[in-house]
Amino acid sequence: MEINAVNQTNTPTFYSKTQQNPLMGSALHEAFPTFQTTRGTTRKRTVYLKSQNKDSLREEEEEEEEEDDDDDERIEVKRKIVALQRIVPGGEALGVDKLFEETAGYILTLQGQIRAMRVLTSFIEGMDKQKRKLGG
């Protein structure tokens, strides 16, 4: 224990987490955590850095998986576009935007053809029923 001459108080000669500056009287100053060298900080720092490395590796793996997923999606989209170009008449010569416009028009045309076929089918079935009624 030391006796401080400025305010006549007893102060311990060492501190575990704080330091006393003899020029500052009884004022206590905490050491900066980055400059503290205690037993085990190297191990803590190593463990921290390893965890950071694991996190960054995990992030890199996730990014690679996302890139692989993106590549798979692009391949799948290209495959579907090629299939659509084969289905739509004249689709092989069209760009993607024009292909989609032509596909929409082609779908409407097909729907109209289906309605016409249903009308014709019901008309023919109606004629068959009339023939049966008349004994034909």
Range of the domain at 88: 71-134
Give mean pLDDT, residues 14-38: 50
pLDDT of residue 116: 97
Whether 33 is covered by a domain: the verdict is no
Cβ atoms of residues 3 and 25 within 8 Å: no
The domain total for the chain is 1
Closest-CA residue to 100 (of 87, 112, 113, 111): 87
Whether 104 is covered by a domain: the verdict is yes
Helix/strand/coil percentages in the chain, nearest 5? 65, 5, 25
pLDDT at 7 over 80: no
Closest-CA residue to 2 (of 22, 28, 23, 10): 10
Whether 128 is covered by a domain: the verdict is yes
Could you read off the pLDDT of 32-87 as tens digits, one per residue? 445 445 555 666 666 666 777 777 777 777 777 777 788 889 999 999 999 999 99
